[in-house]
Structure 1
Amino acid sequence: MKFGNLENLIYFIFPIFMMVILIMGLKKKNRGLKLLNLSNNKKISHLKIFFISIGTVLVCISLLSPEKFLEEQNVERKGNSIYVLIDTSRSMLTKDVYPNRIEGAKRVTKEIIKNLKGDKIGIIPFSDSAYIQMPLTDDYTIAENYINVIDTNLITGGGTNIYEGLVIANNSFNEIESDNKIVLVISDGGDYDKKVLDFIKDNKIVVYTVGIGTSKGAVIPDNQTTGFIKDEKGNVVVSQLNSDFLKEMSNNSKGKYYEVNNLQNNTLEFLTEINSLEKNNIKNEKLAIYKKYYQIFLGFGLIFILLGYFLKGRVKYEE
């Protein structure tokens, strides 16, 4: 037999404290003990204290949730494994999405995580390079915490290297032998890169893309100055959403394209889409089955307390 709630051990202080009070009160014939019907007969009084104390101890034991192991069952969990690639390049500081693109991307990702049901999710930020910030997990609380710390200073360089992010995600999928390789790319698109399209096709990755920004675009704030980022000729750079490249990525891989700006956000359709896919066996768990015995201890505890209280005999109490 084992106990499932050992943190409740602290409650054993009550029967110990009560026994001390009862014994001290009995010696002094404290009027406050009248509620317990203590008798002039020491044997009866001691018996009442014994029953009430034992009953209280049994009730406290019930709070520890005594249980006995019966068997172990295999539980199969099904779901999809999804890597979210989040663009952290400098252009994600553009404010054509409130308050800026990077915060909009984080907001979208957290909305998706909150609505996942059994799927595993991993996070790969990318800029000039990429890395796995969080491996595939079904702990959505931890995932949201990782999302909160993402910003454009996470990776040096400031470019948009979607290719490296896809390579890292694909390698991770291969390690776990995943049947469905699902990637969600959240980006403003960056520059057209044919090797990205070839890699997606060759490795049979299903890519869903979220274009964040507007076709009109806006200037990119420079974190190191109070101005804006300029090109080599000294002209202020205007960053525009490259939706065509993102659409081509998703269309060539049986995925879909979604768009986020201040007027629209249809990314929750992504959840409907992945829920329609065939679920893979992503986790086999062993579930321990226990038989609970707290009811027995609780029942006998209450019986002992009632027996102790209703034992006959009263005492004359000092005024």
Structure 2
Amino acid sequence: MTWYLPFTLLELMLCLLFAVLYGGYLYRIKRLAHQFSQKANTIWIKTAVRTVYGALLMVALLGPSFGAMTKEIRTNGKDILLAVDLSQSMTATDVSPSRLEKVKLQLPSFLEQANSDRIGLVGFSSSAFMISPFTYDNSALELFIQSLKTNQAAPEAAKLEPVLKIAQEKFQAMEDSRDSERTKILVIFSDGETFGENLQPLIQQLKNARIHVFCVGVGTTAGGKMPLGRSFKKDKNGEVILTKLESELLQQVADKTDGAYFEMNQTTNELPRLVSAVNAIESEVRQTKVVEVAANKYFYPLLLAFLLIVLDVLWTLQVLRI
């Protein structure tokens, strides 16, 4: 037999308090009985009853656990991989203070509201790389998010293929480590500015692996300039480069992987819709098993103590004859 709670100093003090107070009561009764030349032996019957139900109340408080009961344990899993575009076009100021800074400002809110177990972070431009592995620690992840800068990635234009591949590899690695029954979600934050890619075979592989891809287009179709020193980035002809949101490929990836496309700019912030869509995807049942656990049987001594208290109240004994 085990106990739900340990016998601590508090329980010891309660026992001593009962003994001192009831001992004083018995002493007073015996003195009165002596003054009237009586023995008052019937007091010991009440004493025995009260001691027993006092002990039973203490046992119920400590929670005796014995025997075994079966309990079904179900654990669910949902993992989210965040991919943030770190190409030079994310410095454009058509979204204040810049496209990348806007994402960094909004992501902590996403971490707080998203219903997930583990979240990882990827940075990408022409190549993709892990910044933070899947973690339960959102505070640590926020530090990685706030440290995101475009100089962490190659200066070339962004490509979606590398980020889709690294997501597939990381989720595949979890399947190999017996985490196959977890909901897998990839969330891409990008302006969609690429050089055109044929992603159909890779999209089909993601769909077969049940990886849901959500894409957030950051920027405006009107476009924005990319700061460079005290001026703006220019092409070979000396013309200021204007980078625009290109959502077509992002929408295509999201639609074909059972995800959704959203936008984030000066006038539109669909982050709440993104959170709702991610939370709407049910977690896979990761594991179901039945285990035997010791059952807390506090109810039985508590019931017996209650019956003895009722008996004590209803059963009247004459202790002294006056």
Residue number among 254, 269, 274 corresponding to 2:277 in the alignment: 269
**Matches for 1:55-94 after TM superposition, within 5 Å:** 55-72=53-70, 81-87=78-84, 89=86, 91=90
**Matches for 1:115-130 after TM superposition, within 5 Å:** 121-127=117-123, 129-130=129-130
Structure 2: distance between partners of 1:242 and 1:19: 82
Go from structure 1 to structure 2 and tell me whether the alpha carbon gap of 1:177 and 1:108 turns closer, same or farther (over 3 Å shift).
closer
Q: Percent identity?
A: 11
C-alpha displacement of 1:177: 6.3
- Mapped pair 1:103 → 2:130: no
Q: Tell which deviates more after alignment, 243-252 or 148-157.
A: 148-157
- Mapped pair 1:171 → 2:173: yes
C-alpha displacement of 1:264: 4.5
Which residue does the alignment assign to 1:162?
Answer: 163
Which residue does the alignment assign to 1:184?
Answer: 186
Deviations 1:146-185 (A, max 9, x none): 6655532278954377354553233223433637773231
Letter in 1 for 2:317: K
- Mapped pair 1:299 → 2:293: no
**Matches for 1:1-319 after TM superposition, within 5 Å:** 1-3=1-3, 5-6=4-5, 10-11=10-11, 13-27=13-27, 41=39, 43-72=41-70, 81-87=78-84, 89=86, 91=90, 95=97, 100-113=102-115, 121-127=117-123, 129-135=129-135, 149=143, 151-153=145-147, 157-159=151-153, 162-163=163-164, 164-176=166-178, 178=180, 182-189=184-191, 191-192=193-194, 194=197, 199-202=202-205, 204-205=208-209, 206-211=211-216, 213-215=218-220, 230-231=227-228, 234-235=231-232, 241-260=245-264, 263-265=268-270, 266-267=273-274, 268-272=276-280, 274-275=281-282, 280-288=284-292, 292-308=296-312, 310-313=315-318
Which residue does the alignment assign to 1:117?
Answer: none
Letter in 1 for 2:213: Y
What is the SS of the residue equivalent to 2:304? helix
Q: How many residues end up aligned between the 2 structures?
A: 279
Structure 1 spans left out of the alignment, 5+ residues: 31-39, 114-119, 136-141, 220-228
Which residue does the alignment assign to 1:37?
Answer: none
Go from structure 1 to structure 2 and tell me whether the alpha carbon gap of 1:248 and 1:284 turns closer, same or farther (over 3 Å shift).
same
Structure 1: distance between partners of 2:107 and 2:249: 18
C-alpha RMSD of matched pairs (Å): 4.4
Structure 2 spans left out of the alignment, 5+ residues: 31-37, 234-240
Q: TM-score, normalised by structure 1?
A: 0.64
Deviations 1:217-267 (A, max 9, x none): 778xxxxxxxxx843785279886553342233234343323345535322
Structure 2: distance between partners of 1:235 and 1:24: 92
Go from structure 1 to structure 2 and tell me whether the alpha carbon gap of 1:80 and 1:18 turns closer, same or farther (over 3 Å shift).
closer
Whether the aligned pair in 2 keeps the contact of 1:12 and 1:57 (CA below 8 Å) is no
C-alpha displacement of 1:123: 0.9
Letter in 2 for 1:151: I
Letter in 2 for 1:66: P
Structure 2: distance between partners of 1:132 and 1:102: 15
Structure 2: distance between partners of 1:245 and 1:208: 12
